[in-house]
Amino acid sequence: MKRLLFLTSCLVVVLASYLDASTAPLVPFHSARVKINDITMYYEEYGKGEPLILLNGGLTNTTAWAKQIPAFSQRYHVIALDSRGQGRTTDSEAPITYELMAEDTLQLMDHIGIDAALIVGWSDGGIIGIEMAIHHPNRVRALVAYGANTTPEGVKESDSIFLGYSSGDVLLRWLSNQYHSISPQPVHLPSIVEKIRKMWLTEPHITAEELATIKAPTLIIQGQKDAVVSTAHAKAIAEAIPHATFVLLPNAGHDAMTRKPKELNKVILGFLKGK
């Protein structure tokens, strides 16, 4: 029963980013598809000011940020992107890894002409942001990671997440309509689901020593009722990063972007102000 509840919670989080955001479409001042490494990446731009890059969670896309972009774009030049193989971005034959997605993000920054940016990531996006802050510190002005883990063990019920291929089949059934409606490569969905399922089971492997090298001002946010990442793990991440701020968001799950947007936006914007 615990395994079923955990899988269900993950699916609800993924679907919420599609279904809830679709009720209020946003209009970017610029959107494009650009060749990045071995993929074609889709991205959108909103607002003016210091660059702020939004990195979505696994198997979601830019619509996950529908309740953040209006608030964030009042102060910042917001860039929202679809990670490789997800949303409107194509896939390649390479395995999907956090390191590779971080490299994709850096290449997009180069394409747009951004030397450094504020990085705000949710779940997988938070992990990508952490990778960037460790290995490319000059590119990250400040880091916000919400619902991120740095080892597979940081995920609740980690030994049973998407156990076997049957759970991949469940994801395929749940995601099929949404993915097919926007992906330029809809036939790749089974491959994408399997690649990401394997990544979740085996990555990331970020050590406390690596976290200790992060120089960017960092905010680690954890939902009090997060069914995916444990609070103890999130606290340990914050404790390992010099001078990091930790915020436990009351009564919030792994999907606070859609369920607790006002509270989440207030915490993020308050932290970034003056950074």
Please name the amino acid found at residue 126.
G
Phi-psi region of 100 (alpha: psi -120 to 50; beta: other; left: phi over 0): alpha
CATH number at residue 137: 3.40.50.1820
Domain tally for the chain?
1
What gap in Å lies between CA 7 and CA 2, rounded to an integer?
9
Residue 171: which domain range?
A: 2-272
Query: What's residue 242's pLDDT?
Result: 97
Q: What is the average pLDDT across 151-177? A: 65
Find tokens 């469940």 and name the residue: 170
Residue with more model confidence, 70 or 6: 70
Q: What is the average pLDDT across 76-83? A: 98
Least confidently predicted of 29-33, 176-180, 261-265: 176-180
Q: What percent of the chain has pLDDT over 70?
A: 85
Confidence of residue 130 (pLDDT cuts 50, 70, 90): very high
pLDDT 10s digits, 211-233: 999 999 999 999 999 988 999 99
Question: Is residue 270 predicted with pLDDT exceeding 60?
Answer: yes
What gap in Å lies between CA 33 and CA 127, rounded to an integer?
24
Q: What is the average pLDDT across 35-55? A: 97
Confidence of residue 28 (pLDDT cuts 50, 70, 90): very high
What gap in Å lies between CA 237 and CA 206, rounded to an integer?
10
Strands 117-122 and 245-249: unpaired
Q: What is the average pLDDT across 49-57? A: 97
Query: What's residue 143's pLDDT?
Result: 98
Query: What's residue 168's pLDDT?
Result: 61
Query: What's residue 12's pLDDT?
Result: 47
pLDDT 10s digits, 185-207: 888 888 998 899 889 889 999 99
Q: What is the average pLDDT across 265-269? A: 98
Q: What is the average pLDDT across 245-258? A: 96
Question: Is residue 17 predicted with pLDDT exceeding 90?
Answer: no
Contact 158, 233 (CB under 8 A): no
Q: What is the average pLDDT across 52-70? A: 95
Tokens (6 digits) for 17: 């980013």
Query: What's residue 197's pLDDT?
Result: 85
Question: Is residue 23 predicted with pLDDT exceeding 90?
Answer: no
